[in-house]
Amino acid sequence: MLYTFENTPQLAALRVETERVGDRIEFEVLGPERDLYAPLIELYYDWFNRVGPIAVHEGRNVYSLYLPPIPSGGDARLLEGIFRDKLFNLRTPRAVTIAVTHDCQCRCIHCSAEDFSESAEPLSRDDIEKVVSAGLAMGMTNVTFTGGEPLLREDLEQLIASVPEAQAVSKIFTNGALLSPERAVSLKSAGLQAVKLSLDSADPFKHDRLRQRHGSFQEVEQGVSSALEAGLLVGLSTYATNESVKEGGLGHLASLAAEWDVHEISVFDVIPTGRLLHDDEALMDELTRKDLMEQAVTLNREFRGRPRIVTQSWTNSPSGFAAYFGCLAGTYQFHVTAYGEFTPCDFTPISFGNVRTESIEHLWNKLAAHPAFCDHRRECRMQSTSFREQYIQPIPEKAPLPYPIEKLDAEST
């Protein structure tokens, strides 16, 4: 596939011919400035060739459910975004999470959407499609529909269809309760690439208790099976705590995921947010993070690529993607709540404005220029003591979330 980079005048003459050869990606850089760009492109594909794909999906290699397959138009845009960011200092959003509803059948203790203000009208289909199209125009390659529970929206398929496969991948985060075989087929037909099902524990009783929904574990298992049967890529999303790491919870989860034939497991560090916003005690400590990363390395060796375990501890560490990615808030991604509030990520309850009254471009530039988000940071801001002292602790208890950045800035001066 021939990649061109039309959104960036500096790259107008650059061409990259990309081909999948089994598990590998072969490429050739073309154009008068090829010697200038080839080293970065080589670095990029070398990484994928080293880790290998988790799946071959519709004739293309998939390395993570968070990334477009290779070769694809989405991958060309991702590469373009790296150039824009790294070489030309043009901050480009590449991922968005959009909460398409606040409603949910579960009442999870750790939910990041809990305590979000419900005062406004939920986003309409038109509102959401405008966010998608504005983000795509700016270079986005990954659109994730979340909630609440996104499958509660009857027009979810239309929303998915508004993401052109040639530009970006779409995925949903779901609790699995409504992921029947028929709905999975319908989502796949609409163009969905992947589903991520939330699983808090490999122990059914514990999972149901944490979700406060009897039968939820079984719904996840059935949802995984429906999604795989429909030809979707399937991941599990979970979170680690100091206790769960000590108990070796990841090993049990990985064995279960392998049994269910899941492609990927994402392990987020527990982040005090939502109902637990002011519970800094819950933060994971450094030793536990190290332990978690070591467990993931051992399990990845054991399962050899399926499921692949990706921990947030690793992506935010020097050995992970941190040199390039690190904290994604405002450098790589943004989040839109079910009521249109524009926030740095789905865990950061700080609003930069509302997408119904301000353009995405304006909100993104405002976020990217803010002193708390204008620089690249390795560590998760929501887990950083200094960030929490300045931007989270001043949020009054019981204040409707997300809290406006202007108020926080005014209070800190």
Applying CB under 6 A, the residues found at the interface with ligand SF4 are 271, 316, 327-329, 345, 347-348, 380-382
CB of 330 to ligand SF4, least distance (A): 8
Q: In what order do the strands lie in the sheet with 2-3?
A: 2-3, 15-21, 24-30
- Cβ closer to ligand SF4: 153 or 388? 388
Taken in order 385, 390, 395, 397, the sign of the CA dihedral is positive
What are the Cα distances from residue 332, in Å, to 47, 78, 126, 141, 374? 19, 10, 24, 10, 11
SS3 for 214?
A: coil
CB of 356 to ligand SF4, least distance (A): 23
CB of 313 to ligand SF4, least distance (A): 10
- Cβ closer to ligand SF4: 5 or 332? 332
SS3 for 40?
A: helix
What single-letter DSSP state applies at residue 87?
T
- Cβ closer to ligand SF4: 265 or 328? 328
- Cβ closer to ligand SF4: 113 or 227? 113
- Cβ closer to ligand SF4: 221 or 379? 379
- Cβ closer to ligand SF4: 16 or 284? 284
CB of 269 to ligand SF4, least distance (A): 8
369: tokens are 């220029």
Check if the beta carbon of residue 305 is closer than 8 Å to that of residue 52: yes
CB of 137 to ligand SF4, least distance (A): 22
Write the secondary structure of 94-137 as one string of H (helix), E (strand) and C (coil). Answer: CEEEEECCCCCCCCCCCCCCCCECCCCCCCCHHHHHHHHHHHHH
CB of 99 to ligand SF4, least distance (A): 14
- Cβ closer to ligand SF4: 212 or 385? 385
Check if the beta carbon of residue 272 is closer than 8 Å to that of residue 283: yes
The secondary structure of 307-324 as a DSSP string is SEEEEHHHHTSTTTTTTT
CB of 328 to ligand SF4, least distance (A): 4
